[in-house]
């Protein structure tokens, strides 16, 4: 048993909720899985998300292309864990409606416990 199993469980649930809200296209629920400010590094850009409401309501339709239907975790492995922070080595997959794969994207997620809430604090991926 790991010393930080409770932290890992809380952070893992955050990632599960993150993906579920993302796939549902529920921007408010998805933003609730972040800890602010939250950082995203992808497509050659560093983006700092200061607070909820930053994302446009149509972000799922505009940013993922017409073929995207859903995404899923292929890998979520703990790299490091502490009482208030867990680092994950992840890979997510983007799928079309027919189940065919658009792409696999390696990434690093940092999930933190902030004011009693587990949320994504930083993520860096090779996704476009």
pLDDT digits (tens, 9 = 90+) for 91-114: 999 999 999 999 999 999 999 999
pLDDT at residue 22 is higher than 70: yes
Number of domains in the chain: 1
pTM: 0.91
Contacts of 57 (CB under 8 A, 6+ apart): 27
Domain range spanning residue 61?
Answer: 5-125
Nearest by Cα to 74 from 104, 100, 97? 104
What angle is formed at CA 85 by the lines to CA 15 and CA 126, rounded to 5 degrees?
50
pLDDT digits (tens, 9 = 90+) for 26-83: 989 999 999 999 999 998 899 999 998 876 666 666 567 678 899 999 999 999 999 9
Q: What CATH number does residue 42 fall under? A: 3.10.450.50
Listing from the earlier edge strand, what are the strands of the sheet with 101-114? 45-49, 34-42, 117-125, 101-114, 85-95, 70-81
């Amino acid at each position: 048993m790991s010393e930080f199993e409770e932290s890992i469980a809380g952070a893992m649930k955050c990632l599960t909720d993150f993906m579920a809200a993302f796939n549902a296209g529920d921007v408010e629920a998805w933003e609730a899985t972040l800890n602010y400010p939250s950082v995203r590094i992808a497509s050659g850009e560093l983006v700092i998300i200061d607070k909820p409401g930053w994302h446009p309501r149509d972000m799922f339709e505009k940013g993922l292309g017409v073929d995207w239907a859903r995404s899923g975790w292929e890998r979520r492995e703990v790299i490091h864990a502490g009482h208030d922070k867990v680092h994950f080595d992840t890979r997510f997959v983007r799928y079309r409606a027919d189940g065919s794969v658009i792409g696999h994207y390696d990434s690093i997620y940092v999930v933190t416990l902030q004011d009693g809430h587990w949320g994504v604090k930083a993520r860096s991926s090779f996704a476009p």
